[in-house]
Each structure stands twice: as C-alpha cells, then as structure tokens.
Amino acid sequence: MTDLDPISVNVDEYLGLNKYEVDEAHAHVTLADDPDPAEFAKLVRVCPAGLYKLSATGDRTFDYAGCLVCGTCRIVAGGGIVTTWEYPRPTMGVEYRYG
C-alpha cells in the first residue's frame, strides 16, 4: 500500500462520451510484470483516464482499454515500468466526442 491521498476529481462523465475501439488482440501499452510500487503510484496520479488503479489492499491494476493516447505514462515511465507504448493500430483506440 501507499499513502496516496484519494483522487477527488471525477471526469468519468466526460470520458464516457468518447468512443473506444479496443484492440483486444494487441495491447498498445504494457507494463512490467511486477511494477515498482513507487513508480506505479506516479502513474495512478498522472493518467488522465485513471487507468492505473491502486486498491485499498495494495493491488495494482492497469487496463489499456480506455486509453486517451496522451502519452503521459510514456513520458513518466517509458523505458521503466511502462515496457511498451505505441499508438493504437489504425481504426483502433479513442475517438473523442467531447473537446
């Protein structure tokens, strides 16, 4: 577990307006098998889609399905615990519906 304060911003309403074509056959973002907790905590904080999750029991999960392709996790942890970061394949990924 870490001592992260709860995230108080909720953008789910806006994210829910987007459309996603999830490429089930190819993850365009992947993580190390057992990511360093401190590095993972950074990603919990910076991912605008909230895809890096830390449970109350310390379980760490990540799902690329709602990725906004912003590249923030690549900047923060590319070459570290983010082992793959690619653009989604053609016709896959996010389609913005708001902004």
Residues near ligand SF4 (CB under 6 A) are: 29, 47-49, 51, 67-73
Length reported for the chain:
99
CB of 71 to ligand SF4, least distance (A): 5
> Which residue, 51 or 54, is less far from ligand SF4 as judged by CB?
51
- Percentages helix, strand, coil for the chain, rounded to the nearest 5? 25, 20, 55
> Which residue, 1 or 70, is less far from ligand SF4 as judged by CB?
70
> Which residue, 41 or 69, is less far from ligand SF4 as judged by CB?
69
d(CA 17, CA 19) in angstroms, rounded, equals 7
CB of 55 to ligand SF4, least distance (A): 18
Q: What's the sign of the alpha-carbon dihedral 24, 96, 82, 63?
A: negative
